Amino acid sequence: MMQTFQFGPWKIAASEIFYISKLSLGLVNYKPIVPGRMCTVVYVLVLPRRVVPRFADLTSEEVTDLFHSAHTIAAVVEKEYKGESLTITLQDGPQAGQTVPHVHVHLIPRRAGDWANNDDIYGEIDQKEKELAKELKRKTAAVDNEERKPRTPEDMASEAAALRKLFAQAENIWSA
């Protein structure tokens, strides 16, 4: 049986993870903000391996590892998805738009004109977070916004496997 990891209260299959460091994970996105707008998948997430709801609750070592991992992943993701820039964001707590109670960093490749108003992306991130939390709670693949289609486990595993080859890994969690 393949290993799983926690993303807040939910289990994430190792097949959806493309990067692993001593203390952090990189995983592909279940429900892109706007598929096809600029690439196959709009963004990835980086999170600590330990379930920690708030940024201030991370240890210094976890903060260092999380941002080192985000830095490493960002350069590769921007290039792989033909981005020209990146939006890097962390919503810390419910009033900041965090709906999954687990610290996570969004890495979103950007291109000129991908949003008419550059800051509109933040509203879409907020909405996507709410939809993701609702869907994970229901554990269904219902589509609540035609533009945001959930991806199959097979699609996410395929993308994660392709990205995985681009990184040195702290350990191999993918073999039985």
Strand partners, 44: 28, 107
- Please check whether residue 169 lies inside any domain of the structure: no
pLDDT in tens, 110-119: 888 777 777 7
Assess whether 104 carries a catalytic annotation. Answer: yes
Q: Is there a binding annotation on residue 127?
A: no
Please name the residues in contact with 2: beta carbons below 8 A apart, sequence gap of 6 or more.
Answer: 13, 14, 15, 174, 176
Q: Is there a binding annotation on residue 91?
A: yes
- Please check whether residue 27 lies inside any domain of the structure: yes
State the pLDDT at residue 1.
54
- Please check whether residue 173 lies inside any domain of the structure: no
Residue tagged active-site, from 68, 71, 102, 104: 104
pLDDT in tens, 36-52: 444 444 689 999 999 99
What is the pTM (predicted TM-score) of this model?
A: 0.81
Please name the residues in contact with 52: beta carbons below 8 A apart, sequence gap of 6 or more.
Answer: 58, 62, 102, 103
Number of domains composing the chain: 1
CATH of the domain at 95: 3.30.428.10
- Please check whether residue 174 lies inside any domain of the structure: no
User: Which residue range is the domain that position 25 belongs to?
Assistant: 4-164
Q: Is there a binding annotation on residue 98?
A: yes
- Please check whether residue 175 lies inside any domain of the structure: no
Residue 31 to residue 132: CA distance in whole angstroms: 7
